[in-house]
Copies of this chain bind each other. A is one copy, B any other.
Amino acid sequence: MVTIYDIAKKANVSAMTVSRVINNSGSISQKTKEKVEAIINELGYIPNSSARSLISKKTKILSLMITDISNPFFTSVARGAEDKAMQMGYQLMLCNSDENIEKESKYIDMLISTGTDGVLIAPANDSSKKNIRKLTKFNIPFVLIDRHIKDLDCDQVLSDNETTTRRLIEHLINQGHKKIAIINAPLDVATARERQQAYCDTLKLHGLEVNENLIHQSNFLQDNDVSEAIKKMMELPETERPTAIFATSNFIGIDAVKFLKENKKNVPEDVAVVCYDGVPNYTGSEPFITAAEQPSYNFGYLGMQMLIERIENTAPKMPRKIVLPAEIHVRKSSIQLLD
């Protein structure tokens, strides 16, 4: 391994001078600078980050804690986060918590040990607060994305759950639906709670009854049990049976449509489906599900930007909150065909 001492010896200067050249700090004669730089190139010297970090307490490593990179929402978040990080000279550590508090906690410990400069985190659920507090204890800045956590004073990038949900539900109501079901994620996740609250509020606002039998919990992962929820609802008496389903996440929406079709239900004729979150259109065909598409890339990009500003002390003291609107794309899964 080539060290500054190797460079120093070969250039007939002290290690300190080499260090100054590398960091462009202090003042150095043009001549020594060039001489040192030439030797650095010649020997292919690359500074040792561990040694630097030991002194500076900075690693130039940022971390992204998400629940699952396989979820297209987070894939795009990750890409946005990485782009901004790279642009600002940071590297990105990737962590998938799988909505699991213990796994998240283990990661947090590893991140603290490695000495990450900051964490962009979509917390697993409300209990993540404990994990996040640990970051605070170690003076590691963090920015919350997607999922709010109560009483945590920090920068955040959130979705406008209230408005977006209301617009999705009102779209269904406008289509004539009166029995609208919700298949949601666990209520210990802020987005799930907010979406459910907005769902109830919107129904009431329009004089519609909130029926407990039409409210179901699933999860955010790919192997959720949406089918169970739908089965139960299909066994309800005709008068209660839903004519529309509000899926609070992409995977839930996809699986709902799949399950309905497998069970010979026509979408949207028998049951309409709308969905929070879009999915990339990888098919040659038209997208099918009516969806509230989020600017996921910007969750990562803007979140990282705030995080870096926090780290580099260029941010205002006050915690900032960015609320990103979703775009509602009305598609076949919720439009009654006229005849």
Contacts and interface: CB of A to CB of B under 8 A. Distances in A.
A110 B60 CA distance: 10
A230 interface: no
B91 A93 contact: yes
A106 to B, nearest CB: 8
A51 B54 contact: yes
Interface stretch (A27-35, A211-219, A275-283, A319-327): A275-283
A333 interface: yes
Given A68-B79, A282-B282, A283-B283, 10 more contacts: A46-B112, A48-B54, A49-B115, A54-B54, A75-B75, A91-B114, A92-B93, A254-B282, A257-B284, A285-B285
A1 to B, nearest CB: 8
A113 B49 contact: yes
Interface of A: 1, 44, 46-51, 53-54, 59-61, 64, 68-70, 72, 75-76, 78-79, 82-83, 86, 91-96, 109-115, 134, 137-138, 250, 254, 257-258, 261, 267, 273, 279-285, 287-289, 333
Most-contacted residue by chain B among A61, A79, A91, A279 (CB, 10 A): A91
Nearest to A333: B284
Contact of A50 (B50, B92, B111): B50
Contacts of A115: 48-50
Q: DSSP majority for the A interface?
A: mixed
29 contacts: A1-B138, A46-B109, A48-B54, A48-B113, A49-B113, A49-B115, A50-B51, A50-B54, A50-B115, A60-B114, A69-B79, A70-B76, A72-B282, A75-B75, A78-B94, A91-B95, A91-B110, A91-B111, A93-B94, A94-B94, A254-B282, A281-B282, A281-B283, A282-B282, A283-B285, A283-B289, A284-B333, A285-B285, A285-B288
B51 A114 contact: no
A115 B137 CA distance: 27
Contact of A53 (B1, B50, B76, B281): B50
A57 to B, nearest CB: 8
B96 A94 contact: no
A93 B109 CA distance: 16
A92 B94 contact: yes
Nearest to A71: B75
A46 B285 contact: no
Contacts of A91: 93, 95, 110-111, 114
B75 A114 contact: no
Contacts of A93: 61, 91-94
